[in-house]
Chains A and B, each alone.
Chain A
Amino acid sequence: MATVTNWIDHLNKPAEEVVGAVYPGAGSTEGLLVILAIVLWVGWHVLTGRSESQELDRLSKKRHSANDYKSNITDW
């Protein structure tokens, strides 16, 4: 994966070869990384959206009054 294995050798190259990407997997993994990011991003929305709906359903069923939360205020 390493794009550069020796900085002295790398910087001794002609200028047009020195400039360029130096991250691991440069030139071969970008597409895969973007797909991975999209999957994680969509997955996050699905998981948190489901979790929020469950929380709101639970809360709705209990039918608390507007001031019930005051009995839950902590003293610490």
Chain B
Amino acid sequence: MTDQLAALTTIFTEFYYWVTVVLMFLIHVGFCMYEVGASRYKHHQHTLMKNTMLIPLVTVTWFLFGWWIYWAFPTGPGLAPSIMNESSALITDDSAFSATWYTATSDLMAVNLGDHISGVFWAAFLLFSWTAASIVSGAIIERITTFAFGILAIAIGSVFWVIDAAWGWHFDGWMLKLLGYHDAYASGVIHAIAGGFALGVLMVLGPRIGKFSSSGEPRNIGPRNPWLVTIGLFLIYTGFWGFYAACNIPIFDLGPEYGMEGISYWTATNIYVTPTTLSGITFNFLMSLSGGLLAGYWIAKGDPFWTYSSGLAGIICASAGNDLYHPIQAMIIGMIGVVISYKLHYWVERKFKIDDAVGAVAVHGYAGFIGLVICGFVLNGYPSSGYSVGAMWDGTTYATINPLGQFIGALIMFVVLGLIPGYIIAKVLHGMGKLRIPREAEIAGLDYEIMEAAKDDEKAVASATR
């Protein structure tokens, strides 16, 4: 880096993403606390370890192949040509943003004095992967084996969400070009897919013992430790700031990028490389959080568990368009998403006997889906990409944002890449007898042996001190 401006931009961007990763770590801390708080005493430690171990499982697979998928799959393959090489095949050539640079054996996937960005960018996306797997984790507590969860976490965290990110989040993604798909802060790309995946798994896994009466009436198994749940959700809110920051490019000169001669325009951009401001998204983040909390407090009659979750659902619902919405639009969209998600949660629970222990399918899946659909109406007509005005896309423009494209996009996220793979993988694991813990173990509590050993230790120490 001999040019001072290039060096400053690069080092600032490297540091910016590095900080977002640290902030996003709080999401996982929050999910761990939240799940332990929601689980019953006799399952605490296994619940915690299940969610903790997704960190190494997803990280290693993300290094081995997840990151490669993101850069290889924007074209489908076969659905729309790349603006970089005009081919519809997997992007594995020598172009600038090719997957070929991100294989596990690439020398860019390590300390390399010629590349200051790849590792922190890799990590920012990795933290999104943890989040996707963690969303699934909460729904299935107290009855899934750690082995099965590990496989499911890898599937959602290092394969399926990455495919949808390549399709609908990458600046070269086919969903932008053909559908006008827009999802700036991942209503669908993270939340709808993870919620759909969790629902697919729950359909096979079944409810916790005692959740439904013999007549089919659902019973409430409320959080054992509501204060831990509270702190957990506040940490998730906090980490969500980092998530929003990580979905932006902090400083970028769009003039040359769009092929505009003699024009230099430095700005923050969203992940599609279209202009937004950190100021604007800060308005919208807080207003959609507020809308979610207001609606949740009202619809759940002040129930703290749902009120806190609704704050999160409000952000998730508005996230698809929070790069462009007015703050009051963001607030209202957050409110609408919460009311529909809450009602849907209880309707699905009663109708289909789905036991979603923490409401993850509602908070992430339904709210994300609804947010995508609403975004199609509110942002109807906006360009889905700045490249549509340039010459890179072989004279053809990207589709603009539109309601039908967003609805189809929501279906792809929730159903095609979420629910169906979750259901199929869970079915296979169930067929192998590896999905669910034995009934007797669930009744006794997963932590029974650990607690028994601790009691023995306590007795031994007490007898030694007499």
- With A56-B441, A72-B454 given, is the CB distance from A27 to B107 under 8 Å? yes
Query: CB-CB < 8 A to A45: which residues of B?
Result: 147, 150
- In the complex formed, the residue of B with least CB distance to A4 is B113
In the complex, per-residue mask of A35-76: 1 if CB is within 8 Å of any chain B CB, else 0: 001100100010011001101111111111110110111111
CA separation between A72 and B458, bound complex, in Å?
A: 10
Do B447 and A69 touch across chains, with their CB atoms under 8 A apart? Answer: yes
Instruction: Count B-side interface residues using an 8 Å CB cutoff.
Output: 40
A-B contact count (CB 8 A): 105
Query: CB-CB < 8 A to A2: which residues of B?
Result: none
- In the complex formed, the residue of B with least CB distance to A56 is B441
Chain B positions 418-466 with a Cβ under 8 Å from a chain A Cβ? 434, 437-441, 443-445, 447-449, 451-452, 454-455, 457-458, 461
Interface residues on A, range: 35 or more
Chain B positions 59-115 with a Cβ under 8 Å from a chain A Cβ? 60-61, 63-64, 104-107, 110-115
Q: Is the interface of A mostly helix, strand, loop or mixed?
A: helix
Do B107 and A38 touch across chains, with their CB atoms under 8 A apart? Answer: no
Task: Give the shortest distance, in Å, between A20 (CB) and chain B (any CB).
Answer: 5
> Is B402 close to A, CB under 8 A?
no
Chain A positions 7-31 with a Cβ under 8 Å from a chain B Cβ? 15, 18-23, 26-27, 30-31
Do A30 and B147 touch across chains, with their CB atoms under 8 A apart? Answer: no
Do B104 and A69 touch across chains, with their CB atoms under 8 A apart? Answer: no
Do B449 and A58 touch across chains, with their CB atoms under 8 A apart? Answer: yes
> Is B238 close to A, CB under 8 A?
no
Do B146 and A48 touch across chains, with their CB atoms under 8 A apart? Answer: yes
> Is A34 close to B, CB under 8 A?
yes
Do B451 and A38 touch across chains, with their CB atoms under 8 A apart? Answer: no
Do A56 and B105 touch across chains, with their CB atoms under 8 A apart? Answer: no
Do B147 and A48 touch across chains, with their CB atoms under 8 A apart? Answer: yes
Query: CB-CB < 8 A to B225: which residues of A?
Result: none
Query: CB-CB < 8 A to B458: which residues of A?
Result: 74-76
- Interface residues in chain B, defined as those with a beta carbon under 8 Å from any beta carbon in chain A: 2, 41-42, 60-61, 63-64, 104-107, 110-115, 145-147, 150, 434, 437-441, 443-445, 447-449, 451-452, 454-455, 457-458, 461
- Interface residues in chain A, defined as those with a beta carbon under 8 Å from any beta carbon in chain B: 15, 18-23, 26-27, 30-31, 34, 37-38, 41, 45, 48-49, 52-53, 55-66, 68-69, 71-76
> Can you offer 22 A-B residue contacts whose CB atoms are under 8 A?
A18-B113, A19-B113, A20-B107, A27-B107, A30-B104, A34-B64, A34-B105, A45-B150, A48-B146, A53-B147, A57-B438, A59-B438, A59-B441, A59-B444, A59-B449, A60-B440, A61-B440, A63-B440, A64-B440, A73-B451, A74-B455, A76-B458
